[in-house]
Amino acid sequence: MSWEDEDVLPPSFSFNVTDYGDTSASVQAGIEATYPGIISGVVTQELKAAIKVTIVFEEGVSKEAEIIKLVLNNHHLWAVRTTQISVLEQSYEAALNAGFDASVTGASYHYTTAQLEDQLNFVGAGVAGMNLGASVVYSVKNVVTLKPERVLHTPAQLGALFGAALTFKETQITKREGLIAAVEASDSVEDIPKIVWT
């Protein structure tokens, strides 16, 4: 029986995982996500220059002959999207940890956010300034001299700093969501890798 003529799945088909920059496990996951329940097994062979994966289908599953092409194309798109979203997530984390500049004291300073403790300090400083009326000495870096300084922040300045920290984080979140949405909306495996954090 010719599956091309009869519009049924062959018992199996094979391809090189390296063509998709992926692993056999994610190939199976990608196909199952598109066509649940059609796979009965996966056979992986380590070749000299590639990893050959054979997908074995459940017997008697009827699909159009073009399904093989669709599965591969859909999986390739899925793999490229997944990879690029991972890259964007890493860029998002790096941006959050890079810190931000603010001029709440009248001079421009860089405030670090590299550690969770740094981020929590903004909350504590905001509470101290806005609710307790306290002044706080902050460790900062002068953006002109690039030297570290210890600068006294008044309650009003602490409130403004807290607002700047929130705006900074919200900006990164909004940027992340927009880029990921662009990746998910694109059907072009050539264009998706060009969606980057700048």
pLDDT digits (tens, 9 = 90+) for 92-127: 999 999 999 999 999 999 998 887 777 777 777 767
119 with 175, same domain: the answer is yes
111 with 160, same domain: the answer is yes
Distance CA 184, CA 182 (A): 5
Contact between 58 and 36 (Cβ < 8 Å): no
121 with 161, same domain: the answer is yes
Domain presence at residue 192: no
Domain presence at residue 161: yes
108 with 174, same domain: the answer is yes
Domain presence at residue 197: no
> Phi and psi dihedrals of 69, rounded to 5?
-65, -40
Distance CA 185, CA 190 (A): 13
Question: What is the pLDDT confidence band of residue 53, given thresholds at 50, 70 and 90?
Answer: low
DSSP 65: T
104, burial (CB in 10 Å: exposed 0-12, middle 13-18, buried 19+): buried
Domain presence at residue 72: no
Residue % of the chain over a pLDDT of 70:
60
Q: Is 183 helix (H, G, I), strand (E, B) or coil?
A: helix
Determine the structural domain holding residue 117 and report its residue range: 96-184
36 with 107, same domain: the answer is no
Distance CA 113, CA 55 (A): 47
Domain presence at residue 196: no
Verdict on whether the full-model pTM lies above 0.85? no
Give the highest mean pLDDT range of 7-16, 41-50, 188-197. 188-197
Domain presence at residue 193: no
